[in-house]
Amino acid sequence: MVLSSYGTDFNYDFHVSFPPEEIARGKVYHNFDLREPVSEERAGISVFCKDENRNLFHTYSTYGRGDELLVGAYMYLDLTPKGRNERARGNLTDWVCHHDRYGAGGSVNPEGRYVAPVAAKPGRCADGPSVRWG
């Protein structure tokens, strides 16, 4: 059974979501270390088991790159000659583009959000053709 933590404090309790006051301090606790906040949420997966007496056990958690097995694209890329073709300490967002923004310039930040090039006008690719935004 898979359940969602939506509407609960679970993500805060397991240090994958961060309240505004923690972000404002400039450090958040994630993956067993204090880190610079790069967003309000970071990656994390937890597994629990309930026994026949209804006792609940936290059996596994992983953070950071530990959840990559669930991203099928990574598994296929790892089979290719250049693999993910990442720079040192990089990730998929170093080179991936949203399907409707190839040729638009800009980049995708570590949270997966598109960052338009400075010279681009909203709603236009850097090299001319229109793209859908949103």
Mean pLDDT of 66-70: 78
Q: How far is CA 29 from CA 10, 22, 23, 35, 36, in A?
A: 15, 9, 10, 6, 9
Q: What was the pLDDT predicted at 97?
A: 66
pLDDT digits (tens, 9 = 90+) for 87-98: 776 666 666 666
Q: How confident is the model at residue 120 (pLDDT cuts 50, 70, 90)?
A: very low
Query: What pLDDT sits at residue 78?
Result: 83
Please say whether the beta carbons of 111 and 91 come within 8 A: no
Closest residue by Cα to residue 28 from 46, 45, 43: 43
Residue of 24, 5, 25, 1 lying closest to 16 (CA atoms): 5
